[in-house]
Amino acid sequence: MEASRSNALIHQLYVRQEYDECLKLVDSVLAETGGQCEHAIYVKALIERHRGRIADSLRLFQQATALNPHNVGRSLALLGKHSQAIEVYDEAQKLAGHQDWELWHAKGLCHAQLEGGHEAALECFAFANAIQPNDATYQRISELHAARGDHGPAAAALMEALEHSPDSADLLASLGLLLLRSGDAQRAFDQLGTSLLHEPRGARAILADHGDHDAALVKYRVVAAVEPDCPQLWNNAGAAFYGKQRYIAAIACLKRAAYLAPLEWVTAYNLGLAHLATGQAASAFHHLSAAVNLRPDFAPRQAGGSGRAAVVWAARAPARSYGLMGVALARLDDPDNARAAYARAAALDPGEPSFRLNHAVLLHSLGDAGGAAAQLGAYWEAAAARRGAPDAEEGCQDPDAAEAAGALARALGLAVPSGAQ
């Protein structure tokens, strides 16, 4: 009688988050009952966990363990003892049967943290979703896929989750960013736009650049008030200014981004681009070389992304850095190194036509007609391949580039292949 009345009071205090009061009551109850009141211990353990003292909380849960193994497992998992936690969860499943989605979900989380537990984690999450679909579970599944680079299944998981809760701004933003990363810009912006409708100040969604620079800048201003020291924000604002051809503002924003996060290669790359646009080739060279140095994984990736020069989404970046470095070096009257940079760029990304054309122009200006003709041929080949590719972008066939190639061909006395105009 006495104990049950206290239990109700303890619960009330707990849900009202009056933790100090609640702990006082718990302690008095525990003193009365000699530490035999399970609910009191349980609530005390929960409060300890809320306050970040996981080890204390684990000790309390172990006191109350006989009836509730789930919390012991959770405490172990929070402490980073994942394999122990999995054992506890297995035991709990023996007791509680296999129809509890939370146990499956928690076990999946532990597997995901363990090395090589990827498949097991996915399996656990699938069981959990079979019992009861849950946003958190879908998000974990998507994260697991995305971490391995499987964007398709990751997006599929999120879309399934959206069927259950179509209004979740968080899910929409995650899906948008994922689509953006896998190169599906149009759908990505649709998702991000919907996410912004639900949560107008969500920084994650805003930070993804739209094609529309003015709209983007307005949105960046909103974020800048909330997070003034966010390097990604300044980088994207700089890119937007670059897109509007306001180069001084772009350089100012990008410099701030570089100050806040000196190890971001994108910022260095964008700075190089902006300096090239303002004719400061030496500075551009330094920034581009920084970008190359900071991005050591030179493996050419599959082409993708939105094709805009200012917004480089992880693809082709090292190759482009080298290509632009070639331009900077050519402007600095260093043809040998410029040629080397172009060669490096072409080796890294053989499908990209622009370096070839720049290389051809450089060789022509040096008087090497044969080399120029070879590079020009490579340019037409690459441009034709690009046009024929299924994911043809509107940006890859630049009319200026085609015109320059035509002029060069005339100067070299070559015939322009049909279809290149």
Partner 1 sequence: MLSSGALGPAAAAGAAAACAPLPGGLNPIWLAQSKLRRRRFDEAIEICSAALAAKPYDQAAWYLKARALTLKNWLDDSEIEEEGIGDALLEEAGTAQVARPGTSLARPSGGANAPSSSGGGSSSPAVRPVSHAGRPLTGFARPGTSTRPGTGARPGTTGGAAAVQAALRGGGKPGTARPVTSSGRFVRLGTASLASEPGGPFINAGRLDLRKYAARPNLARVLCDYLLHVDNDARRALELAAAATQAAGFEDWWWKARLGEAYGRLGLLRDAAQQLASSLRNQDMVSTALALGRVHQRLDQPAAALALYADAAARQPWEPGLLLAAARVKDAMGQGEEALGLYQQVLAMDASSVEAIACLGAHHFYSDQPELALRHFRRLLQMGVASAELWANVGLACFAAGQYDLALPAMERALAAADDGAAPEVWYNVGQIATGIGDTSWAAQCFRLAVSLDPTHAEAWNNLAVLEARRGSEARARAYLRTARAAGPGAYEAHFNAALLAWRRGELQEAWGAVNAGLAAFGAHPEGLELRRLIRAQLTAL
Residue ranges binding partner 1 (CB under 8 A): 46, 49-50, 52, 54-55, 71, 74, 77-80, 82, 102, 113, 224-230, 252, 255-256, 258-260, 262-263, 265, 268, 280, 283, 286, 289-294
Q: What's the sign of the alpha-carbon dihedral 142, 146, 148, 151?
A: positive
> Among residues 125 and 189, whose Cβ is nearest to partner 1?
125
For residue 78, the minimal CB distance to partner 1 (Å) is 4
> Among residues 49 and 359, whose Cβ is nearest to partner 1?
49
For residue 20, the minimal CB distance to partner 1 (Å) is 17
Contact 329, 337 (CB under 8 A): yes
Residue 301: phi and psi, rounded to 5, are: -100, 170
Packing angle of the helix pair 54-63, 38-50 (nearest 10 deg): 170
For residue 102, the minimal CB distance to partner 1 (Å) is 8
In angstroms, the CA 94 to CA 315 distance is 48
In angstroms, the CA 43 to CA 61 distance is 9
In angstroms, the CA 75 to CA 68 distance is 12
> Among residues 268 and 361, whose Cβ is nearest to partner 1?
268
Tokens of 87: 């054992």
Residue 391: phi and psi, rounded to 5, are: -95, 45
Tokens of 3: 């104990």
For residue 117, the minimal CB distance to partner 1 (Å) is 11
> Among residues 114 and 414, whose Cβ is nearest to partner 1?
114
For residue 224, the minimal CB distance to partner 1 (Å) is 7
> Among residues 294 and 416, whose Cβ is nearest to partner 1?
294
In angstroms, the CA 313 to CA 174 distance is 16
> Among residues 212 and 229, whose Cβ is nearest to partner 1?
229
Alpha carbon 59 to its chain centroid, in Å, reads 38
| 33: amino acid identity, one letter | T
For residue 138, the minimal CB distance to partner 1 (Å) is 16
